[in-house]
Structure 1
Amino acid sequence: MDSGANSENVFASLHVVLSGWWNGQQLTKFRDIWWWIFLWALFSSIFVHSLAFLISICTLHKHKQGRWYCLSFVVMGLFTPFTQGVISSALIAGVFVSMGWTIGPKYALLCGAGQTAIVVLVSGSRLLQTL
């Protein structure tokens, strides 16, 4: 019965984070800061990689082997946030907690989406080396 309460709590928390509604309170606990930053990194990564998947499937749908390349976007859209996103969100949250700083939900959005932007920039810069 306790696991059901935890899953409801996670989904309620997920709704609060993604709706941006937080009563103007500041995030002070490590768990809250990490969770907000991680969720924004996860969903911004899924959004960006879904767009890349749609663009690539539209352009490579007739290519014999290229259409399978599109699946790498889906895999990386989930793999990156669950590895790099978890670690970097925890590091950012740890810095804020150790300094005694609090952050607002909009700054957590900026940190999470910023992680995705950095991944996209680094991935784009490596693309030119393969051409």
Structure 2
Amino acid sequence: MKNKIKLLGLLLVAFLFSINSYGQSKEKHNKKKDKEYYNNDNYNYNNNYDRYSKDRYDNRKNYNNQDLVGRSALNAYSTLRNRNFYEQKTHQQGGNTYKVWYNRNSRQCIKTTSRDRRITSIVPSTHCR
């Protein structure tokens, strides 16, 4: 009977030791993984966002909107809206239509000039807000 109790005691100690060592090794593994993840020199903070559209999710993107000059006004306005610009003001004078657009994310303020339904110029503006 005493031998069985000793044997059970030894098995219990061995079992508890194996659970403890498994927990410690798992904890070491997790710490090592965290250290590699956060201290890797090749790790770029925004790497997780590469799979998303930069235009939509990178709120620091400053757009060069000169690609819209010469396009139809409706097409250009639609593109600006897709780039998160919001129309602030509209003014018509002398056959030209002036619109001021603001992008809250990039804090860009621009003015578009259109004539005969075509964008003739896009320049930075200070008339937002």
Larger strand percent: 2
- Which of 1 and 2 has higher RCO (CA within 8 Å, sep 6+)? 1
Larger helix percent: 1
Larger radius of gyration: 2
TM (normalized to structure 2)? 0.24
